[in-house]
Protein backbone atom coordinates (compact mmCIF):
# COMPACT_ATOMS: atom_id res chain seq x y z
CA UNK A 1 0.00 0.00 0.00
CA UNK A 2 2.75 2.39 0.98
CA UNK A 3 4.70 1.65 -2.20
CA UNK A 4 1.59 2.16 -4.30
CA UNK A 5 0.96 5.52 -2.65
CA UNK A 6 4.53 6.67 -3.26
CA UNK A 7 4.32 5.58 -6.88
CA UNK A 8 1.08 7.52 -7.31
CA UNK A 9 2.64 10.65 -5.85
CA UNK A 10 5.69 10.40 -8.10
CA UNK A 11 3.55 9.82 -11.16
CA UNK A 12 0.89 12.45 -10.59
CA UNK A 13 3.11 15.22 -9.16
CA UNK A 14 4.28 16.52 -12.58
CA UNK A 15 0.71 16.38 -13.84
CA UNK A 16 -0.58 18.36 -10.88
CA UNK A 17 2.23 20.91 -11.29
CA UNK A 18 1.41 21.39 -14.97
CA UNK A 19 -2.29 21.84 -14.20
CA UNK A 20 -1.43 24.42 -11.55
CA UNK A 21 0.68 26.39 -14.06
CA UNK A 22 -2.22 26.32 -16.56
CA UNK A 23 -4.59 27.69 -13.93
CA UNK A 24 -2.07 30.39 -13.01
CA UNK A 25 -1.77 31.46 -16.64
CA UNK A 26 -5.54 31.60 -17.13
CA UNK A 27 -6.51 33.40 -13.95
CA UNK A 28 -3.44 35.12 -12.52
CA UNK A 29 -1.45 36.19 -15.62
CA UNK A 30 1.92 35.56 -14.02
CA UNK A 31 3.81 35.30 -17.27
CA UNK A 32 4.41 38.11 -19.71
CA UNK A 33 3.13 38.16 -23.23
CA UNK A 34 6.20 39.94 -24.58
CA UNK A 35 4.52 41.51 -27.62
CA UNK A 36 1.58 42.74 -25.57
CA UNK A 37 3.98 44.09 -22.95
CA UNK A 38 5.95 46.01 -25.60
CA UNK A 39 2.75 47.58 -26.87
CA UNK A 40 1.69 48.49 -23.34
CA UNK A 41 5.13 49.91 -22.64
CA UNK A 42 4.33 52.79 -24.98
CA UNK A 43 8.03 53.42 -25.49
CA UNK A 44 7.42 55.19 -28.78
CA UNK A 45 6.29 58.36 -27.03
CA UNK A 46 9.27 58.57 -24.66
CA UNK A 47 10.97 61.10 -26.93
CA UNK A 48 7.98 63.43 -26.45
CA UNK A 49 8.52 63.58 -22.69
CA UNK A 50 10.78 66.19 -20.99
CA UNK A 51 14.35 64.92 -20.91
CA UNK A 52 14.36 64.65 -17.11
CA UNK A 53 11.34 62.31 -17.14
CA UNK A 54 12.41 59.72 -19.70
CA UNK A 55 14.08 57.19 -17.42
CA UNK A 56 11.60 57.44 -14.53
CA UNK A 57 8.61 57.22 -16.90
CA UNK A 58 10.07 54.10 -18.49
CA UNK A 59 10.67 52.48 -15.09
CA UNK A 60 7.14 53.31 -13.96
CA UNK A 61 5.69 51.61 -17.03
CA UNK A 62 7.90 48.56 -16.51
CA UNK A 63 6.71 48.29 -12.90
CA UNK A 64 3.07 48.41 -14.02
CA UNK A 65 3.50 45.92 -16.83
CA UNK A 66 5.63 43.46 -14.86
CA UNK A 67 3.72 43.88 -11.58
CA UNK A 68 6.81 45.00 -9.65
CA UNK A 69 6.86 47.08 -6.48
CA UNK A 70 9.88 49.12 -7.65
CA UNK A 71 12.61 49.17 -10.28
CA UNK A 72 15.98 50.80 -10.95
CA UNK A 73 18.11 51.54 -14.00
CA UNK A 74 21.78 51.47 -12.99
CA UNK A 75 24.14 53.14 -15.46
CA UNK A 76 26.91 53.76 -12.95
CA UNK A 77 30.43 52.93 -14.09
CA UNK A 78 32.99 53.80 -11.44
CA UNK A 79 32.31 57.35 -10.30
CA UNK A 80 30.46 58.25 -13.49
CA UNK A 81 26.98 57.55 -14.82
CA UNK A 82 23.62 57.83 -13.12
CA UNK A 83 21.11 55.78 -11.19
CA UNK A 84 17.37 56.12 -11.82
CA UNK A 85 14.67 54.59 -9.62
CA UNK A 86 10.89 54.33 -9.46
CA UNK A 87 9.45 55.24 -7.06
CA UNK A 88 12.00 57.95 -6.24
CA UNK A 89 12.56 56.62 -2.71
CA UNK A 90 13.31 53.06 -3.87
CA UNK A 91 16.36 51.31 -2.36
CA UNK A 92 19.72 51.80 -4.06
CA UNK A 93 20.77 48.59 -5.84
CA UNK A 94 24.22 47.10 -5.47
CA UNK A 95 26.68 48.13 -8.22
CA UNK A 96 27.79 45.86 -11.04
CA UNK A 97 24.48 44.02 -11.33
CA UNK A 98 24.76 42.28 -7.98
CA UNK A 99 21.43 41.04 -6.63
CA UNK A 100 20.45 42.33 -3.20
CA UNK A 101 17.61 41.63 -0.81
CA UNK A 102 15.72 44.65 -2.16
CA UNK A 103 15.67 43.44 -5.78
CA UNK A 104 14.71 40.04 -7.16
CA UNK A 105 16.39 40.37 -10.53
CA UNK A 106 19.26 42.24 -12.17
CA UNK A 107 18.99 42.05 -15.96
CA UNK A 108 22.07 43.11 -17.98
CA UNK A 109 21.69 45.64 -20.77
CA UNK A 110 24.55 45.42 -23.23
CA UNK A 111 25.96 48.65 -24.66
CA UNK A 112 28.92 49.61 -26.78
CA UNK A 113 30.67 51.55 -24.02
CA UNK A 114 29.66 49.54 -20.93
CA UNK A 115 26.92 47.43 -19.45
CA UNK A 116 23.92 48.83 -17.60
CA UNK A 117 21.53 46.95 -15.34
CA UNK A 118 17.77 46.87 -14.95
CA UNK A 119 16.92 45.90 -11.37
CA UNK A 120 13.40 44.68 -10.61
CA UNK A 121 11.94 44.57 -7.13
CA UNK A 122 9.60 41.86 -5.84
CA UNK A 123 6.32 41.10 -7.58
CA UNK A 124 3.29 42.84 -6.14
CA UNK A 125 1.61 39.45 -5.68
CA UNK A 126 4.58 38.04 -3.78
CA UNK A 127 5.23 35.17 -6.21
CA UNK A 128 8.72 34.23 -7.30
CA UNK A 129 9.89 34.60 -10.90
CA UNK A 130 10.43 31.42 -12.87
CA UNK A 131 12.64 30.80 -15.91
CA UNK A 132 9.91 31.56 -18.42
CA UNK A 133 9.13 34.94 -16.88
CA UNK A 134 12.82 35.84 -16.63
CA UNK A 135 13.23 35.07 -20.33
CA UNK A 136 10.31 37.38 -21.18
CA UNK A 137 11.63 40.10 -18.91
CA UNK A 138 15.04 39.90 -20.55
CA UNK A 139 13.48 40.47 -23.98
CA UNK A 140 11.42 43.34 -22.62
CA UNK A 141 14.49 44.97 -21.03
CA UNK A 142 16.35 44.88 -24.36
CA UNK A 143 13.47 46.58 -26.12
CA UNK A 144 13.20 49.18 -23.34
CA UNK A 145 16.94 49.90 -23.60
CA UNK A 146 16.67 50.49 -27.37
CA UNK A 147 13.68 52.79 -26.87
CA UNK A 148 15.53 54.74 -24.19
CA UNK A 149 18.55 55.17 -26.47
CA UNK A 150 16.28 56.40 -29.27
CA UNK A 151 14.59 58.93 -26.97
CA UNK A 152 17.92 60.24 -25.70
CA UNK A 153 19.28 60.67 -29.23
CA UNK A 154 16.11 62.52 -30.22
CA UNK A 155 16.51 64.92 -27.29
CA UNK A 156 20.18 65.43 -28.14
CA UNK A 157 19.27 66.36 -31.71
CA UNK A 158 16.64 68.80 -30.46
CA UNK A 159 19.09 70.42 -28.05
CA UNK A 160 21.76 70.71 -30.75
CA UNK A 161 19.22 72.41 -33.00
CA UNK A 162 18.33 74.84 -30.22
CA UNK A 163 22.01 75.59 -29.60
CA UNK A 164 22.49 76.28 -33.30
CA UNK A 165 19.47 78.61 -33.35
CA UNK A 166 20.67 80.42 -30.23
CA UNK A 167 24.12 80.88 -31.76
CA UNK A 168 22.60 82.37 -34.91
CA UNK A 169 20.36 84.75 -32.95
CA UNK A 170 23.15 85.88 -30.63
CA UNK A 171 25.37 86.47 -33.66
CA UNK A 172 22.74 88.75 -35.16
CA UNK A 173 22.30 90.61 -31.87
CA UNK A 174 26.05 90.98 -31.51
CA UNK A 175 26.26 92.57 -34.97
CA UNK A 176 23.36 94.98 -34.54
CA UNK A 177 21.22 96.03 -31.55
CA UNK A 178 23.26 94.86 -28.57
CA UNK A 179 26.55 96.00 -30.08
CA UNK A 180 25.12 99.50 -30.61
CA UNK A 181 23.71 99.65 -27.08
CA UNK A 182 27.08 98.69 -25.64
CA UNK A 183 28.72 101.50 -27.56
CA UNK A 184 26.11 103.96 -26.27
CA UNK A 185 26.62 102.88 -22.65
CA UNK A 186 30.40 103.20 -22.92
CA UNK A 187 30.00 106.67 -24.44
CA UNK A 188 27.70 107.80 -21.60
CA UNK A 189 30.01 106.40 -18.94
CA UNK A 190 32.92 108.38 -20.39
CA UNK A 191 31.05 111.72 -20.42
CA UNK A 192 29.23 111.30 -17.10
CA UNK A 193 32.62 110.77 -15.50
CA UNK A 194 33.66 114.30 -16.51
CA UNK A 195 30.34 115.99 -15.53
CA UNK A 196 29.38 118.25 -12.63
CA UNK A 197 27.42 115.76 -10.55
CA UNK A 198 28.26 114.98 -6.94
CA UNK A 199 31.51 113.07 -7.02
CA UNK A 200 30.26 110.10 -5.03
CA UNK A 201 27.04 109.72 -7.03
CA UNK A 202 28.87 110.13 -10.30
CA UNK A 203 31.43 107.52 -9.32
CA UNK A 204 28.75 105.00 -8.37
CA UNK A 205 26.78 105.63 -11.57
CA UNK A 206 29.83 105.33 -13.78
CA UNK A 207 30.91 102.11 -12.07
CA UNK A 208 27.40 100.69 -12.40
CA UNK A 209 27.24 101.49 -16.12
CA UNK A 210 30.67 100.03 -16.77
CA UNK A 211 29.68 96.96 -14.81
CA UNK A 212 26.60 96.51 -16.96
CA UNK A 213 28.74 96.85 -20.06
CA UNK A 214 31.12 94.16 -18.83
CA UNK A 215 28.31 91.81 -17.93
CA UNK A 216 26.60 92.29 -21.29
CA UNK A 217 29.85 91.59 -23.11
CA UNK A 218 30.37 88.42 -21.07
CA UNK A 219 26.77 87.34 -21.67
CA UNK A 220 27.12 87.84 -25.41
CA UNK A 221 30.28 85.78 -25.52
CA UNK A 222 28.71 82.93 -23.58
CA UNK A 223 25.42 83.04 -25.47
CA UNK A 224 27.38 82.44 -28.66
CA UNK A 225 28.24 78.98 -27.31
CA UNK A 226 27.07 78.08 -23.77
CA UNK A 227 29.00 74.79 -24.01
CA UNK A 228 32.34 76.33 -24.97
CA UNK A 229 35.26 75.23 -22.76
CA UNK A 230 35.85 77.30 -19.63
CA UNK A 231 39.45 77.90 -18.55
CA UNK A 232 39.66 79.79 -15.23
CA UNK A 233 42.90 81.44 -14.13
CA UNK A 234 43.13 80.38 -10.49
CA UNK A 235 44.71 82.79 -8.01
CA UNK A 236 44.36 83.29 -4.22
CA UNK A 237 40.93 84.87 -3.77
CA UNK A 238 39.51 86.54 -0.65
CA UNK A 239 35.92 85.46 -1.23
CA UNK A 240 34.50 87.54 1.64
CA UNK A 241 36.19 90.70 0.30
CA UNK A 242 34.97 89.92 -3.23
CA UNK A 243 31.40 89.57 -1.97
CA UNK A 244 31.60 92.78 0.09
CA UNK A 245 32.67 94.70 -3.00
CA UNK A 246 30.00 93.08 -5.17
CA UNK A 247 27.28 93.97 -2.67
CA UNK A 248 28.56 97.52 -2.19
CA UNK A 249 28.95 98.26 -5.91
CA UNK A 250 25.57 96.88 -6.94
CA UNK A 251 22.58 99.23 -7.34
CA UNK A 252 19.95 97.33 -5.33
CA UNK A 253 16.21 98.07 -5.64
CA UNK A 254 14.89 100.16 -2.75
CA UNK A 255 12.80 97.29 -1.42
CA UNK A 256 15.72 94.84 -1.18
CA UNK A 257 17.73 94.64 2.04
CA UNK A 258 21.05 92.76 2.05
CA UNK A 259 22.41 91.23 5.26
CA UNK A 260 26.08 90.25 5.25
CA UNK A 261 27.99 87.77 7.41
CA UNK A 262 31.40 87.84 5.77
CA UNK A 263 34.21 87.02 8.21
CA UNK A 264 37.90 86.83 7.29
CA UNK A 265 38.65 83.37 5.88
CA UNK A 266 41.58 81.63 4.15
CA UNK A 267 41.96 82.34 0.45
CA UNK A 268 40.11 80.21 -2.07
CA UNK A 269 41.52 79.12 -5.43
CA UNK A 270 39.42 81.06 -7.92
CA UNK A 271 39.24 83.23 -11.00
CA UNK A 272 37.96 86.50 -9.52
CA UNK A 273 36.12 87.71 -12.62
CA UNK A 274 34.37 84.39 -13.24
CA UNK A 275 33.47 83.98 -9.59
CA UNK A 276 32.03 87.49 -9.42
CA UNK A 277 29.88 86.66 -12.45
CA UNK A 278 28.47 83.64 -10.60
CA UNK A 279 27.61 85.75 -7.54
CA UNK A 280 26.02 88.45 -9.72
CA UNK A 281 23.84 85.78 -11.33
CA UNK A 282 22.73 84.52 -7.91
CA UNK A 283 21.93 88.09 -6.81
CA UNK A 284 19.94 88.66 -10.03
CA UNK A 285 17.92 85.49 -9.43
CA UNK A 286 17.19 86.45 -5.81
CA UNK A 287 16.02 89.96 -6.73
CA UNK A 288 13.72 88.56 -9.44
CA UNK A 289 12.40 85.82 -7.14
CA UNK A 290 11.46 88.46 -4.53
CA UNK A 291 9.98 90.80 -7.16
CA UNK A 292 12.46 93.45 -6.00
CA UNK A 293 11.26 93.42 -2.41
CA UNK A 294 12.59 91.30 0.45
CA UNK A 295 15.75 90.23 2.27
CA UNK A 296 18.91 88.63 0.93
CA UNK A 297 21.39 87.00 3.30
CA UNK A 298 24.98 86.57 2.11
CA UNK A 299 27.26 84.44 4.27
CA UNK A 300 30.70 82.86 4.03
CA UNK A 301 32.16 80.15 6.24
CA UNK A 302 34.76 77.38 6.33
CA UNK A 303 33.18 73.94 5.83
CA UNK A 304 35.02 70.65 5.31
CA UNK A 305 38.21 72.47 4.35
CA UNK A 306 36.40 74.44 1.67
CA UNK A 307 35.10 77.99 1.44
CA UNK A 308 31.30 77.93 1.43
CA UNK A 309 29.16 80.84 0.25
CA UNK A 310 25.45 80.90 1.05
CA UNK A 311 23.04 83.23 -0.73
CA UNK A 312 19.55 83.04 0.77
CA UNK A 313 16.49 85.04 -0.21
CA UNK A 314 12.89 85.41 0.99
CA UNK A 315 11.44 85.05 -2.49
CA UNK A 316 8.92 82.74 -4.07
CA UNK A 317 11.05 79.61 -3.69
CA UNK A 318 11.75 76.84 -6.18
CA UNK A 319 9.27 74.00 -6.93
CA UNK A 320 10.57 70.68 -5.63
CA UNK A 321 10.45 68.86 -8.97
CA UNK A 322 12.23 71.70 -10.79
CA UNK A 323 14.83 71.95 -8.03
CA UNK A 324 15.60 68.24 -8.17
CA UNK A 325 15.50 67.60 -11.90
CA UNK A 326 16.05 70.76 -13.94
CA UNK A 327 17.55 73.66 -11.97
CA UNK A 328 21.07 73.63 -13.42
CA UNK A 329 20.17 72.26 -16.87
CA UNK A 330 20.70 74.22 -20.06
CA UNK A 331 17.55 76.06 -21.29
CA UNK A 332 15.67 75.21 -18.07
CA UNK A 333 14.16 78.21 -16.31
CA UNK A 334 11.36 78.65 -13.79
CA UNK A 335 10.88 82.22 -15.07
CA UNK A 336 8.62 82.89 -18.05
CA UNK A 337 11.20 85.16 -19.68
CA UNK A 338 14.27 83.21 -18.54
CA UNK A 339 16.76 81.80 -21.03
CA UNK A 340 17.91 78.99 -18.73
CA UNK A 341 21.59 79.78 -19.26
CA UNK A 342 22.76 81.60 -16.11
CA UNK A 343 22.69 78.76 -13.58
CA UNK A 344 23.90 76.27 -16.18
CA UNK A 345 26.98 78.41 -16.81
CA UNK A 346 27.41 79.07 -13.08
CA UNK A 347 27.58 75.36 -12.39
CA UNK A 348 30.11 74.83 -15.19
CA UNK A 349 32.27 77.67 -13.87
CA UNK A 350 32.23 76.42 -10.28
CA UNK A 351 32.93 72.84 -11.34
CA UNK A 352 35.97 73.96 -13.38
CA UNK A 353 37.22 75.49 -10.11
CA UNK A 354 36.97 72.08 -8.46
CA UNK A 355 33.96 73.20 -6.43
CA UNK A 356 30.21 72.59 -6.26
CA UNK A 357 27.03 74.64 -6.45
CA UNK A 358 23.76 73.34 -5.02
CA UNK A 359 20.43 74.76 -3.91
CA UNK A 360 17.60 74.06 -1.53
CA UNK A 361 14.10 75.45 -1.05
CA UNK A 362 11.35 74.58 1.40
CA UNK A 363 8.67 75.21 -1.15
CA UNK A 364 6.53 77.89 -2.72
CA UNK A 365 6.80 81.26 -0.99
CA UNK A 366 9.54 80.09 1.40
CA UNK A 367 12.60 81.41 -0.41
CA UNK A 368 15.66 79.54 -1.56
CA UNK A 369 19.32 79.13 -0.65
CA UNK A 370 22.26 78.56 -2.97
CA UNK A 371 25.47 76.98 -1.70
CA UNK A 372 28.77 77.55 -3.51
CA UNK A 373 31.80 75.59 -2.33
CA UNK A 374 35.35 76.34 -3.46
CA UNK A 375 38.65 74.62 -2.63
CA UNK A 376 41.22 76.45 -0.53
CA UNK A 377 44.19 77.95 -2.33
CA UNK A 378 46.52 76.21 0.09
CA UNK A 379 45.03 72.78 -0.68
CA UNK A 380 45.51 73.35 -4.43
CA UNK A 381 49.24 73.98 -3.97
CA UNK A 382 50.00 70.64 -2.32
pLDDT in tens, 172-202: 444 444 554 565 566 566 666 666 667 776 7
Report the CATH number at residue 312.
Answer: 3.30.565.10
Last residue of a domain, one of 164, 196, 224: 224
The model's pTM: 0.51
Report the pLDDT averaged over residues 204-229: 66
What angle do the packed helices 272-289 and 239-249 form, to 10 degrees? 50
Q: Are residues 217 and 147 in the same domain?
A: no
Q: Are residues 182 and 309 in the same domain?
A: no
Structure confidence at residue 139 as a pLDDT band (50, 70, 90): confident
What is the C-alpha to C-alpha distance for residues 243 and 281, in angstroms, rounded to an integer?
Answer: 13
Report the CATH number at residue 127.
Answer: 3.30.450.40
Q: What was the pLDDT predicted at 182?
A: 62
Q: What was the pLDDT predicted at 261?
A: 96
User: How many structural domains does the chain have?
Assistant: 3
Residue 283 has pLDDT above 80, yes or no: yes
Last residue of a domain, one of 106, 127, 156: 156
Q: What was the pLDDT predicted at 339?
A: 55
Q: Specify which residues 370 forms β-bridges with.
A: 311, 359
Report the pLDDT averaged over residues 319-343: 70
Of the candidates 341, 328, 209, 353, the one whose C-alpha atom is nearest the C-alpha of residue 272 is 353
Q: What was the pLDDT predicted at 212?
A: 67
Q: Are residues 267 and 214 in the same domain?
A: no
Q: Are residues 188 and 251 in the same domain?
A: no
Structure confidence at residue 23 as a pLDDT band (50, 70, 90): very low
Of the candidates 333, 243, 230, 324, the one whose C-alpha atom is nearest the C-alpha of residue 285 is 333
Q: Are residues 97 and 184 in the same domain?
A: no
Q: What was the pLDDT predicted at 301?
A: 96
Q: What was the pLDDT predicted at 112?
A: 64
Q: Are residues 269 and 368 in the same domain?
A: yes
CB atoms within 10 A of CB 250: 17
Q: Are residues 274 and 215 in the same domain?
A: no
pLDDT tens-digit profile of 333-381? 655 545 567 788 889 999 999 999 999 998 778 899 999 999 999 877 6
Structure confidence at residue 2 as a pLDDT band (50, 70, 90): very low
Of the candidates 315, 310, 322, the one whose C-alpha atom is nearest the C-alpha of residue 368 is 315
Residue 160 has pLDDT above 50, yes or no: yes
Q: Are residues 241 and 355 in the same domain?
A: yes
Rg of the chain, C-alpha, whole Å? 29
In a domain, 18, yes or no: no
Residue 89 has pLDDT above 80, yes or no: yes
The alpha carbon of 288 is separated from its chain's Cα centroid by a whole number of angstroms, namely 21
Q: Are residues 190 and 245 in the same domain?
A: no
Q: Which domain holds residue 275?
A: 235-380
Amino acid sequence: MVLAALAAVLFFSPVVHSLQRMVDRLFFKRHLDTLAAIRALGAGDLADLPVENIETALLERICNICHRTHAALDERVGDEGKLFTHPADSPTPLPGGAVSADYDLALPIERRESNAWLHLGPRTDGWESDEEEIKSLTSLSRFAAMSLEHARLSHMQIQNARLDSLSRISGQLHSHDLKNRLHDLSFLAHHIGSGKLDAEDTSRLVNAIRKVVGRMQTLMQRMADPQAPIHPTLVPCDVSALLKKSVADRLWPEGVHVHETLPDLPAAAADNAMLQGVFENLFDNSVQAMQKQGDIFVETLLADQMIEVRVRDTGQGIPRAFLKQRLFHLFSSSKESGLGIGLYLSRRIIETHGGTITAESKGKGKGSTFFVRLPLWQSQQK
